Homo-oligomer: A and B are copies of this chain.
Amino acid sequence: MPLKQESQNKAFGGTLTKYSFASKSLGGLETKFNVFMPAEGEKSKVPVLYYLAGLTCTEDTGPQKSHLLAPAAQHGIAIVFPDTSPRGAKIEGEDADWDFGTGAGFYLNASSEKWSGHYNMEKFVVEELRGIVQSELSVDSERTSIFGHSMGGHGALSLYLKYPGQYKSASGFAPICNPTECQWGQKAFKGYLSDPSSEGPKHDSTYLIASYPKDKKVAIKVDYGTGDKFYQDGQLLPENFEKAVRDAGRQGEVEVGRREGYDHSYFFISTFAAEHVEFHAKYLKA
């Protein structure tokens, strides 16, 4: 087994286990992730959700603060919590900003020479981690969905749309919906991509929805709060995504919830955690 078990806690009748391994996608660096395995996982392979956390977070933020474990236990679904970037790549400037570099991998494969040796969180999540989880843990990778918060909401929606059929459903808590048009996304794409203007839209859910195969339905749920400072500052732009959804004629396939007064914190996420797991359960257990 390529995985080293770092810790394990019993939780909600199942287990939360932290593993580490040396990741090829991330240039050989050690990375850590948590897995919540419901009790059902002891008897049979269970469906699995990938939860992508936001800027500055780690593999621990979701398990500790999201309130996702209780509904996952209830529905018999595993959740994988990866880290938000490589750690310790020793690239100049990696730790200079909270919204770029360490803790801010943006779930894409870097194309700029400086970052492409390590910052490949897309390949990491979609291929490498998924492969390891499938081979080593009691999950049924045919039944996989993805969700996330903020930067991780961008990751969830964009990876879902880039890899049709790989994930049954996607959802975002306060996701960055249109990264090429907001400061966070522009800064990330300028750093990670060698040609941001041509490559950026390929990582932007608001553009990706237009090119999604016409013969496939999408299953997407988004929630954001009107009291979210980052929403107010134009970092999330859910309205742009909603317009793109309408333009693509996919209104019935995308739910967007505007939540009065909620902010960007994990108190917002935890409030709607059960609804999101229930949304995915419909597709994972269909």
> Which residues of chain A have a CB within 8 Å of any CB of chain B?
9-13, 16, 63-65, 67, 69-70, 225, 227, 261-263, 265-268, 270-271
Known contacts A64-B64, A70-B67; is-contact A11 B270 (Cβ 8 Å): yes
Pick the 7 closest A-B CB pairs, nearest first: A11-B267, A9-B267, A10-B261, A10-B262, A12-B271, A9-B265, A64-B65
Q: Are B16 and A267 in contact (CB under 8 A)?
A: yes
Min CB gap A54→B, angstroms: 15
Number of copies: 2
Beyond the given pairs A10-B261, A10-B267, A69-B267, 14 more chain A to chain B contacts, judged by CB atoms under 8 angstroms and listed by A's residue number, are A9-B263, A9-B265, A9-B267, A10-B227, A10-B262, A10-B263, A11-B267, A11-B268, A11-B271, A13-B271, A16-B267, A64-B65, A65-B65, A67-B70
Given the complex, which residues of B lie within 8 Å of A266, measured CB to CB? 64
Min CB gap A64→B, angstroms: 5
Contact of A69 among B63, B261, B263, B270 (CB under 8 A): B270
Bound Cα distance A141, B251 (Å): 49
